[in-house]
Amino acid sequence: MTNEAATHCGICRRVLDILADPLSTDCGGDCWGCVGEIEADIGWPESLAQVRKESDAGLRPDWIDPVRR
């Protein structure tokens, strides 16, 4: 594992664990921004509820709730 791989999301390359960025939480090498959206899109209830809150708060402006697709 390179240093960049340890500090950046393996999916989108976002820098991980930035305090001012709640979507940057390290979820095993990928950021919560990516993991949360994937889990919400497949219907994982806890992730869907959290991603909806984040969308309502403006953290995910491009996300479309799977119920509305």
* Span 23-60, pLDDT tens digits: 999 999 999 999 999 999 999 999 999 999 999 999 99
**Residue 37 backbone zone (phi > 0: left; psi -120 to 50: alpha; other: beta):** alpha
**DSSP 8-state secondary structure symbol assigned to residue 50:** H
Q: What predicted TM-score, i.e. pTM, was given to this entire model?
A: 0.89
The band of 4, judged by pLDDT with boundaries at 50, 70 and 90, is low
Question: Which residue range forms the structural domain that includes residue 58?
Answer: 3-68
Burial class of 27 by CB neighbour count within 10 A (0 to 12, 13 to 18, 19+) = middle
Closest CA to 35 of 6, 17, 12, 1: 12
Residue 56: CB atoms within 10 Å? 9
Number of domains observed in the structure of the chain: 1
